[in-house]
Amino acid sequence: MKDAKVRLYVDHPLGAGQPVPVARDQAHYLFGVMRLSEGAQVLLFNGQDGEWRAEVTQAGKRGGSLSCLDQTKPLQVPPDLWLVFAPIKKARTDFIVEKAAEMGAARIVPMQTEFTNSERIRQDRLQAHAVEAAEQCGGTYVPEVSDLVKFDRLLAVWPEDRHILFCDEAEVGSVTAQLSADLRGKPWAIFIGPEGGFSDRERARLKDLPNAHVISLGPRILRADTAAVAAMSLWQHALGDWT
């Protein structure tokens, strides 16, 4: 059996014998950059049908086609965990999205707070980063990256059954809530603030929510991108699919 050295996300149904068209940008990558030719094998996933081994049936500079052979992985849906964060500098925001996709977030929600430095994002670019992260980490699911939403608007429609893990920099060094195993399997969201932290008003509003669980991320104040990785690691170990 040939080894498939390339893994690719496609927006197309996958199944035994299913033909998959290759668009121009993916053709450039597969046949120009990776220099695959007819008969070569690739791994495909679309976030719905698991991972499939496919064979190149046509290779051209402007397009091509693949044919699905067999399923190599079933769809692996992550826990119902949202990462809600305030965008920071471009490269570090990219890092947060990439790591959230790798670590098993089901949805990624950029949020504008009172101290958020960025008032706009490129949702399509961040979604592409999530796709690339899923391609590289072997995942079969790609989290949705939402458009930027204001803090107050987000909480105004917040689902009553979704718990919030509020990582409050003001709680550094204090004893905070513990994550009970009884809460495993519930809908969750992790809230990470901007570089300047949440405002006093925002902090009070989060703490007043009935399903909010306030924690400290240790004795030092972490950068926002570090905090996102640390919080997801703690949650996945305590309540997610790492154990």
**HEC string for 25-72:** HHHHHHHHHCCCCCCCEEEEECCCCCEEEEEEEEECCCCEEEEEEEEE
Q: What are phi and psi of 223, to 5 degrees?
A: -65, 155
pLDDT at 123: 96
Last residue of a domain, one of 55, 73, 91: 73
Last residue of a domain, one of 45, 73, 101: 73
- Read out DSSP for 204-219? HHHHHSTTEEEE---S
Q: pLDDT tens digits, the chain, 243 residues: what are they? A: 467 889 999 999 999 999 999 999 999 999 999 999 999 999 999 999 999 999 999 999 889 999 999 999 999 999 999 999 999 988 999 999 999 999 999 999 999 999 998 778 999 999 999 999 999 999 999 999 999 999 999 999 999 999 999 988 877 665 556 778 889 999 999 999 998 889 999 999 999 999 999 988 888 888 999 999 999 999 999 999 987
CA nearest to 96, candidates 243, 222, 9, 4? 222
Does some domain include residue 186? yes
Say which CATH number the domain at 45 has. Answer: 2.40.240.20
Same domain, 51 and 145: no
pLDDT at 174: 58
Q: What are phi and psi of 26, to 5 degrees?
A: -75, -30
User: Which helix (H) or strand (E) is 90 found in, with range?
Assistant: helix 90-103
Q: What are phi and psi of 57, to 5 degrees?
A: -105, -20
pLDDT at 117: 81
Same domain, 69 and 85: no
pLDDT at 171: 75
pLDDT at 1: 47
Same domain, 92 and 66: no
CA nearest to 179, candidates 242, 222, 221, 223? 242
Say how many domains are in the chain.
2
Same domain, 61 and 100: no
Does some domain include residue 1? no
Say which CATH number the domain at 185 has. Answer: 3.40.1280.10
Same domain, 65 and 128: no
List the structure tokens of 162.
Answer: 């979704």
pLDDT at 3: 74
Q: How far apart are CA 185 and CA 80, in angstroms?
A: 8
Q: How far apart are CA 181 and CA 142, in angstroms?
A: 26
Which residues have CB under 8 Å from 190's CB, separation 6+? Answer: 81, 82, 83, 84, 164, 165, 167, 228, 231, 232, 235
Last residue of a domain, one of 46, 73, 100: 73
Q: Is 221 helix (H, G, I), strand (E, B) or coil?
A: coil
List the structure tokens of 79.
Answer: 């826990």
Range of the domain at 12: 7-73
Q: How far apart are CA 117 and CA 53, in angstroms?
A: 43
Q: How far is CA 142 from each of CA 22, 49, 197, 201, 205, rounded to the nearest angstrom?
A: 19, 12, 28, 34, 31
Please state the pTM of the whole predicted model: 0.92
pLDDT at 176: 57
Q: Residue 12: what residue type?
A: H
